[in-house]
Structure 1
Amino acid sequence: MSESEVTRAGLTGGRPGRDALFGNGQGDGSGAPDGGPDGGRSEGRAARRHRAREESPGFTSYYGRPVVKAPAWSPADIAGYLFLGGLAGAGSVLAAGAGLTGRPHTARAMKLGSVGAISLSAAALIHDLGRPERFHHMLRVAKPTSPMSVGSWLLAVYGPLSGAAALSDLTGRAPRAGRAATCGAAVLGPAVAAYTGVLLADTALPAWHAAHRHLPRLFAASAASAASGLALVAGPRAEHAPARRAAVLGTAAELAVLSGLHREAGGVAETYREGTAGRLLRAARRLSVAGAACAALSGTRAAGRLARPAATLGGLALLAGSACTRLGVFHAGLASARDPKYTLRPQRERLATRAEAPGCGAAPPG
C-alpha cells in the first residue's frame, strides 16, 4: 500500500524508482540546480562566459538538419566568377598604370586579359542561375544597400568600358575614347575586384559573415596577386618591374589579411583551417609565396637566362594561388553551413558577452 500523501507542498512520502532524477533532472541531489545552493548566482560572470564557450549545445537541429541552408551554387561556376572578376578588376588598374608609364605591350595584354576575364566571369554567373535568360532582371532596379544589385550594375558598366579599351588598343581607332574607357575601367576595377567579398559577407553563412571585415580586403589583395601574375606571363620582361612589385605587395597583404581573419573569426575560423577549405588555403599560401619569390628573383641580375622562365613560372603560381584562395573561401562557407555548431556557438558567445556587460539585468528606469 502506498504511503505517499498529497499536501500543500506537493507529494510527500513517495518512493522514487531506481532511475529517478533529482529536481528537474539537472541537480546534484540537493534539489538545487547546478552551480550551488543559490542556483548558480554566486558564479562569476567570467566563469559563466567561459562555461558558455566551452560547453557544446545539447542539440544540433531538428532531424539533424543544418540550421542554415547552404546555397545551391556550383563550386566551379561561383569560384570561377569570384576569381575571374577579381582578375579583371585588378588587371584594368595595372593596364592603366602600364599605359601611363610607357609600357604599351603590358597595357595591351592586361586590357585583353581583363575583357576576357570579365566575359568569362559573367558567363559563369549566368550559367549558375536557375533561369539564365532572366539575368537582365537584376538590372531592373538599383538598390545601393544590396551588394548583388550594386555588383550587377558594376558588371554592366565595367564590362563595356573594358571592352572598349581593348578594342581601341587593338584597332588604333578612337584613341581618346579608348583612353577614357581605360581610365573608367581602372576607376571601377577595385570595386569589381572587392565587391564579391562584400556579397559573400552579406549572407547568413557563419564563415563568411564572421569574416565580413576581411573578405573584401582578402579578395582585393588576391586580385592584385592574380593580375600581377598575368602581367608576368603575358608582358615582356623589360616591362615587368611594376608587376613584380605588385606581386610581392599583393602576396604580403593577402597573408596579413588571412592571419587577421583566423584571429578574429573565433571558432568559425576552424572552417578555414580544416577540410577542403583548409587544404586549398594552405596550397594558396604556398603558391602565392613561391610565385612572389620567383617574380622577385626574375628581376635580379643573378637570374640571367632563367629570368624569363622564373617570371612565367611565378606568374602561373600567383594565378593558381589566387584561384585556390577564392575556392577555399567558398568551401569554408559551405562547411560552416553544414555543421550547426558554427551557427549556435557564436550565438551562445554573444549571449554570454551580453550577460557580462555592465548593467545587464538591471531594472529599467522609472
Structure 2
Amino acid sequence: MRAARYYDRGDIRVEEIAEPFVTPGTVGIDVAWCGICGSDLHEYTEGPIFIPPAGHPQPISGESAPITMGHEMSGVVYAVGEGVTDLAVGDHVVVEPYILHDDVDTGPASRDYHLSRDMNFIGLGGGGGGLGERIVVKRRWAHRVADSVPLDQAALIEPLSVGYHAAERSGVTAGETVLVTGAGPIGLLTSAIVKALGATVIISEPSPLRRQKALDSGVAQHVLDPRAVDVVAKVRELTGGAGADVGFECTSVQPALDTLVDALKPHGVLVVVSIWGHPGAFDMQKIVLKELDVRGTIAYVNSHPAVIALVEAGKIDLAPFITGKIGLDHLIDEGFDTLIHHNETAVKILVSPSGRGL
C-alpha cells in the first residue's frame, strides 16, 4: 500500500509499504480521509518533535523514523480482530490516535490518560498513520460514526475534539462571552464548540480570508481585525465594560496572548490551546491584579463520544472548514506548502491516501 513517510525535517516520502496485520483486539480501517494538522507542519519544518528520530525508538511503539504520518482520520472498517464484537465490516469510524502504555486506565471516568508517561500519537509516534491507505488500531481507539456524517467531515472530528477539551478546560457556560485569538483550524473549531454550548464568541484574526471563513461558517457573533480595531476596547464595549469571561489563545503569537490578558475580566480564564515552538511571556502583574486563571490544554481525553454526538445531531456543521482535497502525490506541493506559505488561503486540507475520494 502507499503511505507518506516522515524521514527527517523537510523529508517526507510517498512510498510503498506492507499492509498492517489485523490481530486480536484490533480493527482494520480503510482510510477515507486524513487531515493535515499543524503538528504535522511543525514536524516538517522544525522536527522531529513527537516523531522519534531514526535510531531512537519511541518507548511504547518501539518505532522510529521513518514513520507513517497522519492522525486526523476517518475510514471504513474492512476487518475486525478476534474478540471485537461491537464493530463490523463496513462501519464508518474515526480514530482517537493515542499511543499509551497498556496499564494506563482509559475508562470512561479517566481524565488524565492523555498526560500519561511516554504518551504519543498514532501517525507521529508510530502505529501506522492516516496518510497510508490502511491502518490497524486497537479497538479502544476506533469510534463509530453514523453513516449520515460524510466521511470527509468525519475526519475533522479529531481536531474538533481538541476544541471540545479546551472548552472543558475553560469551564465556559452558556451566556458567557468568549474571545478567541486566531481563526485557523483550531481557533475556528474551538469557536464552533463554544458557540454550540451557548456562549457569545468574538474572534480576533488579521487575515481577511480567515475572518470571512469565520463569518461564513457562523462560529462567531463578532469577528474583528486586530490591525484595524482596538480589540480590547471592542470587547469591553460588547460586554458593558466588563471584559470577556474566557479567552482561547490559538495562535502562538505574543501580541495575541497580550490581547487576551488585557481583554479578560477580573477572575477571567485564559486557555492556551496552541502549541508554542518558542517561549511566551506574561505580564505577571496583570495576571496577579486581575486574579486571572491561566490553563493549558493538550489534545483530548474521553472527548470523542460527546463530539461525535454533537456532529451527528447537527449541532456543528463541519463542511465549511474543508477548503481542499488532494491525493498523496500532492501532499507537499498542494498540502504542506500551501499551509506553510499561504495558510491564510486554507483552513483544513484533506488527503485521500488511496485517491478514491477525489
Give the TM interval when normalised to the shorter protein: under 0.3
Instruction: Provide the TM-score with structure 2 as the length reference.
Output: 0.23
Instruction: Provide the TM-score with structure 1 as the length reference.
Output: 0.22
Say which one has the larger Rg: 1
**Of Structure 1 and Structure 2, which has the larger fraction of its residues in helix?**
1
